[in-house]
Amino acid sequence: MGIRNRQWLLASRPRGPVEESNFRLVETEVPALRDGELLVRVHYLSLDPYMRGRMDDAKSYAASQALGEVMIGGTVGEVVESRNPRWPVSELVVGTGGWQELHVSDGKGIMKVARGLPESVYLGAVGMPGVTAWYGLLQIGKPKAGETVVVSAASGAVGSVVGQLAKLRGCRAVGIAGGPAKCAHVVNDLGFDACVDYKAEAFREGFKAAVPDGIDVLFENVGGAVFDASLARMNAFGRIALCGLIAGYGGQDISLRNVRSILVNRLLVQGFIVSEHMELWPEALKELGAHVAAGKIKYRETVAQGLESAPRAFIGLLRGENLGKQLVKVAG
């Protein structure tokens, strides 16, 4: 008798907002390992906005996920069985294990991580979201000391690192977030110079006051009206790293009105996906790990308990209910 596993499958594609019924929890048996394979017990599952795109039929970053397959997702966990000498039992590894308790790997696409920092940080500030922030801000935004950097979804796993990296580079860091609690966290805990609440009535005035010298670098995660508000304040030769359009992930209209700003201000806009720049991950992870260890990059986590909570937590993430990195604690 084999080892039991629990998995969340994509049961149906969302029509509009994601619903719990789009997922199906199944129990399966882990197949016997073949030579070169290893079995990882997932400790933490990462929930990220990009997953929404994979649920659609439409063309997303990558091929859309097939119905009936285990939901894609980043994981950190421990090797519990191995037929691969490079990956001994009890090694801590980060990979794309998916929404399940156990996953079999052939050693490709996984990475050993040290036990010095809390495990979950490898799914956040010292993982894919952190590298996303690092790449978009530094490789596309190229901020210079004294410049103003704006990031939307500033309290999220990516946005929180963007602003802190900008501060470490001598920039003015301004966040955009939804609600006073997130904004207070961004300023008081993360050390941004300012954070404006896009849900507030006085958003436009508050935003204007927060960027008195305009915006030199924009790290855009949201799209739509929030993106437009930033476009209206861009300085000449500004750079925009387009990382996400979460405002449109439910099929909402995210038309952009201020296109003229791109022309008039000679802006650079660059869409990107961090997994296409693996050659820079070691450099990025080294810097991020050092900053986190030194307490110079802080992070907050929202942790849902148990694999069964994943769909509910994911829906909450898409609604902006989490603060900081959204995780699911699966085991460990």
Catalog residues that contact a second copy under the rule CB under 8 A. 53, 59-61, 223, 227, 242-245, 248, 253-257, 259-260, 262-273, 276
- Nearer to a second copy by Cβ, of 53 and 316: the residue is 53
- Nearer to a second copy by Cβ, of 76 and 215: the residue is 215
- Nearer to a second copy by Cβ, of 36 and 248: the residue is 248
Please give the single-letter amino acid code of residue 104: V
For the CB of residue 220, give the shortest distance to a second copy in the complex, in Å. 9
d(CA 303, CA 128): 17
| Cα dihedral sign, 303-186-215-291 | negative
For the CB of residue 22, give the shortest distance to a second copy in the complex, in Å. 21
Q: Answer for the pair 194, 174: CB distance below 8 angstroms, yes or no.
A: yes
For the CB of residue 169, give the shortest distance to a second copy in the complex, in Å. 23
- Nearer to a second copy by Cβ, of 96 and 252: the residue is 252
Q: Which residues pair with 218 in a beta bridge?
A: 150, 240
For the CB of residue 250, give the shortest distance to a second copy in the complex, in Å. 13
Cα three-residue angle 151-157-158, rounded to 5 degrees: 40
Do strands 4-10 and 75-82 pair parallel, antiparallel, or not at all (unpaired)? unpaired
User: Based on the number of CB atoms within 10 Å of its own CB, is 107 exposed (0-12), middle (13-18) or buried (19 or more)?
Assistant: middle
**What is the helix (H) or strand (E) element at residue 299, kind and residue range?**
none
- Nearer to a second copy by Cβ, of 53 and 179: the residue is 53
User: Based on the number of CB atoms within 10 Å of its own CB, is 132 exposed (0-12), middle (13-18) or buried (19 or more)?
Assistant: buried
What is the DSSP-derived secondary structure letter of residue 189? T
For the CB of residue 162, give the shortest distance to a second copy in the complex, in Å. 16
For the CB of residue 158, give the shortest distance to a second copy in the complex, in Å. 14
For the CB of residue 227, give the shortest distance to a second copy in the complex, in Å. 8
- Nearer to a second copy by Cβ, of 66 and 263: the residue is 263
Phi-psi region of 223 (alpha: psi -120 to 50; beta: other; left: phi over 0): left
Please, what's the largest Cα pairwise distance for the chain? 67
For the CB of residue 258, give the shortest distance to a second copy in the complex, in Å. 9
- Nearer to a second copy by Cβ, of 150 and 194: the residue is 150
By three-state DSSP, how is residue 76 classified? strand
Q: Answer for the pair 48, 153: CB distance below 8 angstroms, yes or no.
A: no
**Closest to 241 measured CA to CA, from 150, 317, 108, 106:** 150
Token pair 């008081």: residue: 188
- Nearer to a second copy by Cβ, of 243 and 318: the residue is 243
